[in-house]
Amino acid sequence: MDNNSAAPGEEVLPEEDLSDIQYDDGVVFILFWSLALVVFLQFFTRYVLNNSLGWTEEIARFLLIGVTFFGAVMAVRKESHIAVELAYRYFPRRVRQGLQLSVDAVSLVFYAVTAWLCTEMAGKTQQKMVSIDVPKSVVYWIVAFCFLAMALYQTRVMWRHMRTGTSRLIDPENYAVSTANL
């Protein structure tokens, strides 16, 4: 049954648009559900079996770091990081464009510098994880990779903003969600 031929009294749900899903979204998906499994295992062994597994807490912490930073990569790609849009509405369009490009440039510099700092830290870290025999530098390398990916996506976003001259902050009326889409 398609969306236009619903029975009387039956709610018609709009189709979900999944066109912006990419391979890096799958990494977040796998990390998230791995985290959920590890946390459930931690809860089950601690409170049901009354004999917790020692490695679950540390692994859950590192999986949460992975979810956070791979999720941040996804947010940069989709331009869905939070922004204070209220102030933009009161500025002329030229000022909004300048502010958008400034935000893009500062974000790009931040991601690039943080990626570099994470590689420095990863190179200097010699410790192993407590519960498993894996170097802690692996976590720092993953975070550095995520910041590098954010810098690359931010470069693409900034280029798109400069080329098209528009964005969600420059022309909010073009990106507004209508009640028909909800």
Residue 11 lies in a domain: no
Residue 73: per-residue pLDDT? 95
Instruction: Give the pLDDT of residue 178.
Output: 58
Residue pLDDT, tens place only, 36-94: 999 999 999 988 888 888 888 899 999 999 999 999 999 999 888 887 777 777 888 89
How high is the mean pLDDT of the chain? Answer: 86
Structural domain of 157: 23-80+88-173
Q: Is residue 178 part of a domain?
A: no
- Asked if the structure places residue 156 within a domain, the reply is yes
Q: How many domains does the chain have?
A: 1
User: Residue 162 CB: number of other CB atoms within 10 A?
Assistant: 12
List, in sequence order, every residue forming a beta bridge with 113; answer none if it has no partner: none
